[in-house]
A and B are shown apart, each in its own frame.
Chain A
Amino acid sequence: MSQPQQSTVRNRLLKALTPSDFALLQPHLELVATELRQPLIKPNEPVKQLYFPEVGFSSITTQGSGGKVEVCIIGREGLVGGIPLLLGSDRTPHDHFVQGPGEMLAISSQAFCGAVGQSASLHKLLLRFTQVQYVQTAQTAFVNASYQIEVRLARWLLMCHDRLDGDELRLTHEFLSMMLGTQRTSATLAVQALEGHRFIKAQRGRVTILNREALENLADDGYGLPETEYARLIEGA
């Protein structure tokens, strides 16, 4: 099978690498198809593979007695599974699964660590992405503590929209309530509120973004900080 070329990969983190750093990873990258809800990294088990999303995105959740709550989203701007390995662990207590189906470039932990050990610049860029992920997780804590559910929903939809091709997201309210850390009925009420303003259109199992600008206004400073940090740290904006 032909290996992915840096000029044609869609993953923005891979694109941001120097050609020599990309060459260290390239022989080990394997394109895999991903399905909705497919587990990528299971909690408290050694990380065997990491994933650079090409199409679709991954959700990272933490498990409490009341169910799962999402703490982070990673799409084609990033790498799934980098945090534990880059920060000196071999596993994570968090669940990582496919939120938007598509395809990802998988790499074994061994090959990944080997490449990182060979290149200080590769290591540095990946640590910078780790910092962006930390900022996003902190932002999730801030938003969940400070904002009402309509705003949290607007921010979450924007983050998904950033990582989607197109405007439509497959989604049940039950799943959405998990992502937002609310009761299912509250997720339904928030969807109705945004739909009432014509910001989104909700159909059974689907949400379509109709007015992104209005969602950005609603999300206010709940959205944008990790995105700005990404541009600064990864793409040199």
Chain B
Amino acid sequence: MPRYFFNVRHRPGPAGLARDPESEELADANAAREYALSEARAMIARDRLEMIRDWMVCTFEITEEASRHVLTVPFSDTVPGHEED
């Protein structure tokens, strides 16, 4: 199974990306999206960080092993009807 790195973009610029050093082993990009949404939901519900004023402006920038960009999942996609078609 491929390894997916769930980096978080929380503001513009190089310091605005928190790189995931550890990754998750998941079946495919679809499973990676599901993981990102579930992680984002739990973070929005429970986790409070000084550096994050608004979770809704955060985005998972998911990469595969060779830093290849796979998928972008905005935290706002956790809200039904908020998704752009």
Contacts and interface: CB of A to CB of B under 8 A. Distances in A.
Nearest to A203: B21
A192 B42 CA distance: 19
Contact of B18 (A149, A174, A192): A192
A174 B22 contact: yes
Interface in A175-216: 182-186, 188-190, 192-193, 196, 202, 204
Nearest to A204: B21
A109 B61 CA distance: 52
A172 B43 contact: no
Interface in B10-24: 10, 15, 18-22
Nearest to B36: A185
Given A173-B21, A196-B15, A150 B42 contact: no
Contacts of B19: 188, 192
B68 interface: no
Given A173-B21, A196-B15, A183 B47 contact: yes
Interface residues of A, number: 20
A204 to B, nearest CB: 5
A227 B34 CA distance: 43
Contacts of A151: 50
Contacts of A186: 43, 47, 49
A149 B49 contact: yes
Interface string B12-46: 00010011111000000000000000010011001
A149 B21 contact: no
A182 B46 contact: yes
Interface residues of B, number: 19
B52 to A, nearest CB: 7
Majority SS at the chain A contact face: helix
Nearest to A182: B47
Nearest to B44: A183
A185 B39 contact: yes
B61 to A, nearest CB: 12
B49 A193 contact: yes
A26 to B, nearest CB: 44
A174 B48 CA distance: 17
A188 B22 CA distance: 9
A151 B6 CA distance: 23
Contact of A172 (B22, B39, B51, B52): B22
Interface of A: 148-151, 172-174, 182-186, 188-190, 192-193, 196, 202, 204
Given A172-B22, A184-B39, A185-B20, 8 more contacts: A149-B49, A149-B50, A150-B49, A173-B21, A186-B47, A189-B49, A192-B19, A193-B50
25 contacts: A148-B49, A149-B49, A150-B49, A151-B50, A172-B22, A173-B20, A173-B22, A174-B22, A182-B46, A183-B39, A183-B47, A184-B39, A185-B6, A185-B18, A185-B20, A185-B39, A186-B49, A189-B8, A189-B10, A189-B18, A189-B51, A190-B49, A192-B19, A196-B15, A204-B21
